[in-house]
Amino acid sequence: MRILFAATGEIAVPLLRALDERGVIAAVLTAPDAPGKRGKSLVPSPVKKAALELGLDVWQPDTLRKEARAYVRELAPDALMSFCYGKIFGPMFLSLFRYAFNVHPSLLPKYRGCAPLYAAIRNLDRKSGITLQEIAPGIDEGRIYRTVLFDLDGTEDLAKAESIAAELAPSLVLSVLDDIDKIVPSDQVGEPSYTAMIGKDDGRIDFRASAREIHALVRACYPWPKAYCILDDHPLYITGVYGSAFDEPEPSSEEPGTVVGAVRGKGLKIATGSGYIYVSRVLPPMKKEMDALSFANGCRNLCGKVLR
């Protein structure tokens, strides 16, 4: 089987390498280079970087229309394998493949869309997973070949959850490809739910929420867009929290957002709408990320202030 591998994000790199070891990749389809943090130069996607290291042909069209279809016809791959690519495949494009696979990091039909692991962490799920499905006209509505589950213990941030999913993808995909003539994909079962694109405002902390909800928000937003609050009229990014969201929080009585103290080994103790949360790492304005106690040592009169 010759595969056109369509992917962009870091999460897809282990699968790219595994398929390359099998010698089945005909070419790699990835997003065009994008402006870097300061916008002065274009930066290739993680998948492009890895593909070039492996000596694979890389293709970066702006659209998947007539010119793209001509490229696929000439390439003549048997299958399309998509994982965190970022564009929608139209029916004319999909018709060029015998198989069209999509790797989706959720337990479908739960969390269709572009932010499934963010949603799983944010919603305090105890389990997540990764699914290999057919590509269908509707978003993540295709039939399922196979799913692998993994536990969430309430300490994972988004980067860790993506790393777990990334490492599970190769064995999942290769097991299906090895048995592709025997496996009959099955319809999705259950009530579907959907996730939307994450934006910077999704990281805004409301300390009237419970300690568990805020704990989950901080982890779901790391490394991007990062959860944040306001301290002395400036944004303070909260990048790490102590313990597990599934631990029973200590009851709180102060106004939500009040910095109660600094606790060695845990961080800043902050009151919420229900219980205390311990913030272990922060990113202050115009500074590098640091542990919360170091921040407290350099911030006068922090205890007693109210984060908004």
pLDDT by position in tens, the chain (length 308): 999 999 999 999 999 999 999 999 999 999 999 888 766 789 999 999 999 999 999 999 999 999 999 999 999 999 999 999 989 999 999 999 999 999 999 999 999 999 999 999 999 999 999 999 999 999 999 999 999 999 999 999 999 999 999 999 999 999 999 999 999 999 999 999 999 999 999 999 999 999 999 999 999 999 999 999 999 999 999 999 999 999 999 999 999 999 999 999 999 999 999 999 999 999 998 899 999 999 999 888 899 999 99
Q: What is the pLDDT of residues 58-110, one digit of tens each?
A: 999 999 999 999 999 999 999 999 999 989 999 999 999 999 999 999 999 99
Residue 260 amino acid letter = V
pTM for the model:
0.94
58 backbone dihedrals φ, ψ, rounded to 5°: -115, 135
- Residue range 204-297 in CATH 3.40.50.720: no
Give the model's pLDDT for residue 7.
98
Q: What is the topology classification, in CATH, of domain 3-195?
A: Rossmann fold (3.40.50)
Q: Give the per-residue pLDDT at 287.
A: 93
Q: How many CB atoms lie within 10 A of CB 93?
A: 18
Residue for token pair 């993808």: 169
**E-assigned strand segments in 125-178:** 127-134, 144-151
> Would you kindly state where each structural domain of the chain is located, as residue ranges?
3-195, 204-297
Distance CA 225, CA 201 (A): 8
pLDDT of residue 108: 98
